[in-house]
Structure 1
Amino acid sequence: MNLNSGALAMLLPFLCCCCFFFSVPTLFAQSFDTNASSTGAAARALDALLQDYAYRAFVRPKTGVPYDGAVPSNLTGIQIAAMRLRSGSLRTRGVNMYREFRIPTGVLEQPYVERLVLVYQNLGNWSLRYYSLPNYTYLAPILGLLAYDASDLSAKNLPELDLRASGDPIRINFSDVESAPIGSVPKCVRFDLHGSVIFSNLTAPNECSTIRQGHFSIVTESVPPPSPPPEREGKESSNRRTWIIVGSVVGGVALLAFLGFLILWGRKCKQRKKMQEMEKAADVGEALHMTSVGDTKAPSATATRTQPTLENEYVP
C-alpha cells in the first residue's frame, strides 16, 4: 500500500522517538566499554614507562641488590625499585624480602632467561587513577611486581616475563593499610596484565598471597553514602518531575503521531473500498449506446421490449 506524504509526515516523529529511546542504552554501553579499555591502556603504558625509569637506576648493579629509581616529576608519589637476579638463584633461593614481597623458592619465569630484573611499583595516590575499581574502596596503595629480561639494561618497552610460583605462593605484607569500616570485610585484589580482576581472602592481617605477578592491593566494598538532607531530596524530586514531564510530552507527541497515521490509513482504505464498489457496480450494469442528436450525443436504446398498441388500430 502506498502512503501519501501526509502519512509519512505524521509517522516521522514517531520513528525518531523510537530510534532515540532504543539508541540511548547502546550509547551508554559503548561509553562504558571505551572508558574501561582506555584505563587498561593507560595502566600498561605506565608499566612501560616505570620499567624504563627503573632500569635507569642500574649504574654498577650488583646481583640481588635492590636499587631505588626516580620517576618523572609529573608522577610524583609513585615509588619504583629494580633488582637483578640470576634465574637459577631465584628458583633455588628465592628472595627473603623485596620491599613488601616475600618470594619463596620454586619461582619460575617463562620464557627462560639467564638473568632477570624484578621491578617494584608503589603507585601511592595514583592507584585509583590507573586501577579504578567501582563499588570498592582502597585500603592500601597498589603494589606491583613485574619481571623483565636483564640481558640489556638500557632497553625500553620490554615485554613482561610470565613469573609463576610452582610451590609456596608469593606473599605481600602491606605496610600502609587503612582500617576497614565497621562491618566490612577487607579483601585482596589482583590485577593481571590482561585486565582481569581477581579477589581473594587475606591470608593474614594485612597480608595477601599470589602465584602470579601483577598489581595488588587490599580493598573493601564501599559503604553507601548517608541519606541526603531534605534540600537535596527536594532538588532531586524536582529534577525527577522535570524528567517525567519531558518524557510525558515526548510520549504524547509520539502517540499523537501514531494515531494520526492510523486515521489517515483508515481514511485511505475507506476511499479505496468505495472506489472498488463503484467500479464493480459499473462492470455489472449494461452499457448504453450513444446516438447523435443535432450537435450533441445522447444515450439511446437499441430496441424496446414491448411493441406499443395503437388506439385506433382495428382488432377483430
Structure 2
Amino acid sequence: MRSEKTLFTLLLLLVSLFDLTPHAAAQPPGEISARALDALLQDYAFRSLNRPRTGVAYNAVLPVNITGVGVSAMRVRSGSLRARGVRSYGEFRIPIGVVEQPYAKRIVLVYHSLGNWSSLFYPLPGFDYVAPVLGLLAYDGSNLTATDLPELEIRALKKPITIEFPENDDIIEGGSGSSPYSPKCVFFDLHGSVDFEDVLPGNVCKMFKQGHCSVVVESEALAPAPSAAGQSSYGRGGGKSKGWTILWSLIGVLIFLGFLALLVLRVKKYQNERSKKKEKRRSELGTDRGEAVQITSFENLRAPFATGTRTQPVLEDHYVP
C-alpha cells in the first residue's frame, strides 16, 4: 500500500513538472487572441526581471509552442522616461516627452517581436507582411510578480516613437506612396483600430502611442513568384518552424512516456524485492522460535518441562535379564 502511494506521488510530481507554464501557454497560438497573448507575454517578461538594473533589457524565456516570438522587458523611472527617453530598445527609439497615464513611479516597457506568428495574431486580408509585427507596451513596475496587469497609456507629446525595421528587399525606402504596391506602415492600437502610413526613409515607421507596428504590401505585389503567392519573404519559413515545433513536442511526449515506463518497472521491482525480504524474514522468525517449551514448578523452583520426547527409546534386543 505504501509503495502504491509512493508511485502516485511520483506521478503527480511528473505531471506538475510538465505543467509549470500558465494554462494559456499550453494552448496552440491560434486558439488565443492577440490581447490574451499580450497578457501571457507580460507574465513571461516580468519573470525575467530578477533584481533588474534600470534601463537594461532582459530577454524572456518562452515555451516551445510559441517558438519564434521574442519578448524582453526593461524597467525605467517615469521621470527619466519623460526627460531622457530611451535611445534604443530593439527597433524602437523613444524620444523625450513621453508620459504615462495613470502615473507610475517605475514603468516596465515590454517589447514584442511576433516573428512568423505575425499574420496569425494580426491578420490583414489583402496584405502580406514584409517585416515582423513589433510591439511596445508599458506596465506599472512597482510589483514585478504581478500577472494580468492592465497596460498603462503612454503617449509621445512632441516627437513620435520611431521603429527602424531591418533592411528588406520588399521594403522600398521612402517614396510618395503613389504606387499601389508601395510598402505601408501598419499600426494596431490596443483597442482594435488599424492605421496605415507611408514608410519613411531608412525603413522607419512612427507611432505616438503604444501598440504594435509592422510593414505590409498588397498581396498582388508579391504575386509574380507562384510558389510564394500570398506569403511575404519574411514569412516563408513559418511552415518549417511549425513542423519543427510539432516534431520537438512529439519527442518530448515520447521521452516522458519512456521515463514513466521505467518508473513503473522500477516500482514493481522494488515491490517484488520487498515481498521476498518479508517472506525470508518470516521464515527466519519461524526457525528461531522452534517449539514452545512448557514451564513447571517443583517446590520453590521453576524449570522447563517436556511433555514427551520426540523419539521413543527402543531396546536393541528384546531379551530382558
Please report the TM-score for the alignment, with normalisation by the length of structure 2: 0.56
**Contact between 2:171 and 2:203, CA under 8 Å: does it hold in 1?**
no
| 1:121 equivalent in alignment to 2:147 | no
Provide the residue aligned with 2:77 in structure 1: 86
Q: Could you tell me how far apart the structure 1 residues matched to 2:116 and 2:65 are? A: 13
**Contact between 1:165 and 1:211, CA under 8 Å: does it hold in 2?**
yes
Provide the residue aligned with 1:291 in structure 2: none
Q: Which has the higher contact order (CA 8 A, sep 6+)?
A: 1
Q: Could you tell me how far apart the structure 2 residues matched to 1:70 and 1:177 are? A: 27
| 1:167 equivalent in alignment to 2:158 | yes
Give deviations 1:84-112, integer Å, cap 9, x for gaps.
Answer: 00000000000000110000000000011
Provide the residue aligned with 1:132 in structure 2: 123
Provide the residue aligned with 2:64 in structure 1: 73
**Contact between 1:144 and 1:216, CA under 8 Å: does it hold in 2?**
yes
Provide the residue aligned with 1:156 in structure 2: 147
Match 1:215 to one of 196, 201, 212? 212
Structural mapping, 1:198-277, within 5 Å: 198-223=195-220, 225=223
Q: Could you tell me how far apart the structure 2 residues matched to 1:209 and 1:141 are? A: 15
Any runs of at least 4 consecutive aligned residues in structure 1 with deviations exceeding 6 A, and if so which?
Answer: none
The alpha carbon displacement at 1:205 in A equals: 2.8
Match 1:188 to one of 174, 185, 189? 185
Q: Could you tell me how far apart the structure 2 residues matched to 1:54 and 1:157 are? A: 12
The alpha carbon displacement at 1:60 in A equals: 1.5
The alpha carbon displacement at 1:179 in A equals: 1.5
**Contact between 1:138 and 1:219, CA under 8 Å: does it hold in 2?**
yes
Q: Could you tell me how far apart the structure 2 residues matched to 1:184 and 1:130 are? A: 23
Q: Could you tell me how far apart the structure 2 residues matched to 1:54 and 1:176 are? A: 27
- The two structures, once aligned, show a CA RMSD in angstroms of 2.4
Q: Mean Cα displacement is larger for which, 194-203 or 146-155?
A: 194-203
The alpha carbon displacement at 1:176 in A equals: 5.5
The alpha carbon displacement at 1:130 in A equals: 0.3
The alpha carbon displacement at 1:221 in A equals: 1.0
**1:89 partner SS:** helix
**1:45 partner SS:** helix
Give deviations 1:25-79, integer Å, cap 9, x for gaps.
Answer: xxxxxxxxxxxxxx89600000000000000111110111111111111100000
Provide the residue aligned with 2:89 in structure 1: 98
1:143 aligned partner, one-letter code: L
Q: Could you tell me how far apart the structure 1 residues matched to 2:54 and 2:148 are? A: 22
Q: Could you tell me how far apart the structure 2 residues matched to 1:221 and 1:91 are? A: 37
Mind listing any 5+ residue stretches in structure 2 that lack a counterpart? Answer: 1-29, 173-178, 227-321
The alpha carbon displacement at 1:180 in A equals: 4.7
Q: Could you tell me how far apart the structure 1 residues matched to 2:43 and 2:32 are? A: 17
Q: Could you tell me how far apart the structure 1 residues matched to 2:123 and 2:40 are? A: 19
**1:223 partner SS:** helix
> Which protein is bigger by CA-based radius of gyration?
1
The alpha carbon displacement at 1:222 in A equals: 1.1
Query: For residues 199 and 85 of structure 1, do their structure 2 counterparts lie closer, same or farther at Cα, with a shift above 3 Å needed?
Result: same
**Contact between 2:83 and 2:96, CA under 8 Å: does it hold in 1?**
yes
Q: Could you tell me how far apart the structure 1 residues matched to 2:123 and 2:31 are? A: 10
Percent of matched pairs sharing the same residue: 56
